[in-house]
Structure 1
Amino acid sequence: MRPGHALVLFSGGQDSTTCLAWALTHFAHVETIGFDYGQRHDVEMRVRLQVLQSLRAQFPHWAERLGEDHVVDLAVLGQISDTALTRDTAIAMTAAGLPNTFVPGRNLLFFQLAAAVGYRRGLHTLVGGMCETDFSGYPDCRDDTIKALQVAVSLGMGQRFTFETPLMWLDKAQTWALAQQLGGDALVATIVAQSHTCYEGVRDVLHAWGYGCGTCPACELRRVGYERWRAAETGKPIAGA
């Protein structure tokens, strides 16, 4: 068990749910924070509460460590962003070489606001699901960005913060494997049936890997990772999948 308490940036998706399980395994007290920024797939704001409820019900040893959930209204980010995650726009590549699902400054704001909440509540470890292995080139998901931001936030708040990114060097198949390692079949089943990743917000089709449209970049990453992980598991059955 690591010293101190943790605050997890929790959207209710596969990555943040795995990160929450990781934090609950490593810290004695864990709280969560979500951001409502006018995202097109706002279903995640409802789903994240279902995931929290499922974790509390299925993992009593985690439930006693899982504290308050915080939600920050970040509507201004959606108002100033012209992206496929904040507008009803087709997903495509931009002239900058990034998909138009990139919301400029999103993770920077998330960490800064999480640090403000953590400062008030004595939560000096912030946990995020950023990943530089399976990502779309988002500059605010890179390890160098997170490390630089950790230094800036710590200096600016006069309080040392640690930013943990347990998925940074894992691909999606390895992220599924980590979930299995942390919480067994029950956690994998919760991620499949409860979490949400699809950029289109589709919740009417449950695939083996979870709900989603099956074609957006987020669904594609999740599906391919799941299939690669299952292949490596040599067909081991997973409850609820």
Structure 2
Amino acid sequence: MPDQATAAVELEAIDFAPATLLVVDDIAVNRDLIKGYLARYPFRLLEAENGQEAVATARRHQPDLVLMDMRMPLMNGYEATRQLKQDDSTRAIPVIALTASAMEQDAREIGLICDGYLRKPVSQQALVIQLGRFLVHSVVAETPAPEETRPWPDKALNDTQKQRLTELLPRLRALQSDCDTLCRTMSINDIEAFAQQMRTLASDYDYPPLEAWGRQLAEQSGLFDLDGITATLNSFGEQCRALEARLKEQPPGPPARDG
């Protein structure tokens, strides 16, 4: 997990475009917490205390995104979200659920009607990551200079290299589902851990291309470069296929003799 100083630098690196957000929660302290987290960004923040107010406010002001508490009096967040998604004027507005529930059934229901999901107590980092999925933003921090990568030789693999990389390939394939999950959750902490896991495997099996891939993912995570993270995670399968293709290469045969 990044320390506070690292997290602060990462959050400072995100520059959101102006947007209108609707914060829905029946507890004022919870709304104030969200507003405090977002104070540095150019957001217009609207508030609602229950689902009825949320639906009316969203229809009237057409916010760019709704942060919706799911447990409220009068009308809960589930019903409010359903009404928003059934209304042609509001169905395109992303709704991020805020809930303290740990029940798997609640998570499944939220996944069916909402566009995103945050578990209370919400951290500033997790909130910003979710907003980055739906709101226009840029990464303003400079990209660190790339480290020098030891080149991967074009010559044929020797028996030892081929044996080690043959053991590595199924380990990478088994991690594809983890990579797919990260693409959906975009959990920066988990992505950073995955990047480090890849760099460790690259070192253990002496495979520089995987080290370069893991380092790129780590750098993108440190900058909250969500588009870059998505592209890199989506290229994980290519890493597996490239390694498989290299293992199938046969060393050149002995040179033909004259006569």
Q: Same fold (TM over 0.5)?
A: no
TM-score normalised according to structure 2 size: 0.28
Higher relative contact order (CA 8 A, sep 6+): 1
TM-score normalised according to structure 1 size: 0.30
